[in-house]
Structure 1
């Protein structure tokens, strides 16, 4: 009888430990110079400054884009920026010459596309992201 009470007590204590798991440690807010601790990336004050990025499919890069861009790369297999420098590098990304920023006429206009290697695409995108221009 005493053993049963002891095993019940042990089972009860074990279930209490599982239910009372410790929480994740708080991290500093990622906003430069903010000392607040938070569970997410940013504190409540800075969350509005950093909206979450939409998924690729919600930004227009779903299955249709995958299919069309692969076909474009088959027709244009070399990076245009590297080719201009006399290098023959395989293109892996279809880039929008003028960023579409949600404008579907720019998104789907093949005259606004160019084939780039990942390195050239990352450089171009990095320069554009540092000075974005939005048109509505």
Structure 2
């Protein structure tokens, strides 16, 4: 029978051993919900401008026009010779990098979720590399 090893609690300086699938020991379980609440409130404040933008009619119209222009096909898949239905409209140059291009049709391209997620991961990695 395979035994799953124990690990230390994620709380700094806590040496309690817990099940490998757990994050915190019983004494520090409250920290798991606290960190999520803190993250959510921080993100809510930080991203409020972007959330407001994505809820506006101007964005919904620009998104719709972009989908129509590209026949609702994922442009990244199309470049690779595949025909895939697009699920999202992506900003080629991120909003954080150039707010003025937020509704520019030349900066919008329809993507499927798979391609959009790949692009997002690459952008985050590049952004983190440029921080240091």
Q: What TM-score range do you get, normalising by the shorter chain?
A: 0.5 to 0.7
1:66 aligns with 2:60: yes
TM-score in terms of structure 2 length = 0.59
Report the equivalent of 2:95.
100
Aligned partner (choices 23, 27, 42) of residue 51 of structure 1: 42
| Bigger relative contact order, structure 1 or 2 (CA pairs below 8 A, ≥6 apart) | 2
- Is the CA contact 1:97–1:114 (under 8 Å) kept in the aligned structure 2? yes
Q: Which has the larger radius of gyration?
A: 1
Report the equivalent of 1:86.
81
1:116 aligns with 2:111: yes
Tell me how large the CA RMSD over aligned residues is. 3.0
- Is the CA contact 2:62–2:103 (under 8 Å) kept in the aligned structure 1? no
Q: Which whole-Å CA distance do the structure 2 matches of 1:65 and 1:102 have between them?
A: 17
Structure number with the higher helix fraction is: 2
SS in 2 for 1:94: strand
Runs of 4+ displaced beyond 4 Å: none
SS in 2 for 1:51: helix
